[in-house]
Amino acid sequence: MLDNVRFSIASLALGGIACMATAPSAAAPVALPRTITIVVPFGPGASNDSFARVLAQKLGPKIGSTVIVDNKPGAGSVIGSSFVSRAAPDGSVLLLTSSTFTTSAAVQKNLPYDPIKNFTPVSLVATGPMLLTVGAQTPYKSAADLIADARANKGKINYASAGIGSINQMSAEMLNSMAKTDMTHVPYKGAAAGLMDMIAGQVQVMVASPASAVGQLKSGKVRALAVTSPRPSPLMPGIAPLNQTVPGYEVEIWWGVFAPGGTPGPVVERLNAEINGIINTPEMRERFAQEGAEPTDSVTPEQFGGYVRKELDKWRTVAREKQISAE
């Protein structure tokens, strides 16, 4: 998807060069609110919170505003997202969230908002792979080993997740569907608990984020069999993409910024330009790398919106096929 985004950007750039000679001088950028709140629908310390705080530190001085971060965790990101969906559409309240925005929407039938109509995409800031991991005590040395055993012993291999509708579960169920396996879901209250039980041998598999698994990988208690991204990750050298074993399989965690639905175009465009100018700075790149993520490359609000719709369609298909529902 991101390759298509970059192609589109390059095409637009070529068209823009042809117009530069005759274009009038650019108008002054639209004014942004003097105080901007970035709502993080998760608790302090997680990747969303970490990214939001560095972004706020850099965005405020850049635009001459006070930018603060407000954590509103709960209900799989729904509480914070709902707050932003009802906020004034003037750029004063933003949402920095991640893939859970679409996985929660795919499995929760009674959301207090419409994930498309009630939000305006602003900027896709980073993406990164998940890791197909197993406990070090298992015999699996490759994704092919695991899949072969899962096919031969349907229902007997257990996988952990951070809960119903989590990106861990949805990624594993998409693998079940595409690889024709039947691994059994064991939900936990958070990824850390699932990883601990995998180390103890209570479950065998988990599709985990690099940040949640890195300590256990370094200790040798967990083994990474594959990355879920379509290509090898420079941040995870030597780990093959899962699509080499399961053609077409692709999952990436993403992080992005939204405004309430109905936010004026000029405000969205200004925010997009300012955020795009920040996410490739050394400090942001370092913070992304700590979570196994990389910054995106000048994705427009329209392109981000298209990406979100595709993600939502993908996870709704998985939820429907696997009958996943969170009340």
Percent of the residues in the chain that have a pLDDT greater than 90, as a whole number: 84
Condensed to tens digits (0 to 9), the pLDDT of residues 245-275 reads 999 999 999 999 999 999 999 999 999 999 9
pLDDT band at 297 (very low <50, low <70, confident <90, very high): confident
Residue range(s) occupied by CATH 3.40.190.150 in the chain: 31-128+252-322
Q: From CA 323, how far away is CA 107, in angstroms rounded?
A: 9
Mean pLDDT score, 138-158: 96
pLDDT band at 278 (very low <50, low <70, confident <90, very high): very high
82: tokens are 């709902």
- What is the identity of the amino acid at 243? N
pLDDT at position 27 is: 63
**282: number of Cβ within 10 Å:** 7
Q: Please give the radius of gyration of the chain, using alpha carbons only, rounded to the nearest integer.
A: 20
Q: From CA 284, how far away is CA 280, in angstroms rounded?
A: 6
* SS3 sequence of the chain: CHHHHHHHHHHHHHHHHHHCCCCCCCCCCCCCCCEEEEEECCCCCCHHHHHHHHHHHHHHHHHCCEEEEEECCCHHHHHHHHHHHCCCCCCCEEEEEECHHHHHHHHCCCCCCCCCCCEEEEEEEEEEECEEEEECCCCCCCHHHHHHHHHHCCCCCEEEECCCCCHHHHHHHHHHHHHCCCCEEEECCCHHHHHHHHHHCCCCEEEECHHHHHHHHHHCCEEEEEECCCCCCCCCCCCCEHHHCCCCCCCEEEEEEEEECCCCHHHHHHHHHHHHCCCCCHHHHHHHHHCCCEECCCCCHHHHHHHHHHHHHHHHHHHHHHCCCCC
Condensed to tens digits (0 to 9), the pLDDT of residues 68-92 reads 999 999 888 999 999 999 999 999 9
Long-range CB contacts (< 8 A, 24+ apart) of 46-49?
A: 47/98, 47/209, 47/211, 47/255, 47/291, 47/293, 48/96, 48/97, 48/98, 48/255
pLDDT band at 298 (very low <50, low <70, confident <90, very high): confident
Residue range(s) occupied by CATH 3.40.190.10 in the chain: 131-244
- List the one residue out of 129, 130, 144, 138 whose CA is nearest residue 157: 138
Mean pLDDT score, 130-148: 97
Among all chains, which residue has been given the structure tokens 């990389």?
294
pLDDT band at 314 (very low <50, low <70, confident <90, very high): very high
Q: From CA 246, how far away is CA 59, in angstroms rounded?
A: 41
Q: From CA 73, how far away is CA 40, in angstroms rounded?
A: 7
Q: How is domain 131-244 classified at the CATH fold level?
A: D-Maltodextrin-Binding Protein; domain 2 (3.40.190)
Q: Model pTM?
A: 0.88
pLDDT band at 36 (very low <50, low <70, confident <90, very high): very high
Q: How is domain 31-128+252-322 classified at the CATH fold level?
A: D-Maltodextrin-Binding Protein; domain 2 (3.40.190)
pLDDT at 7 over 60: no
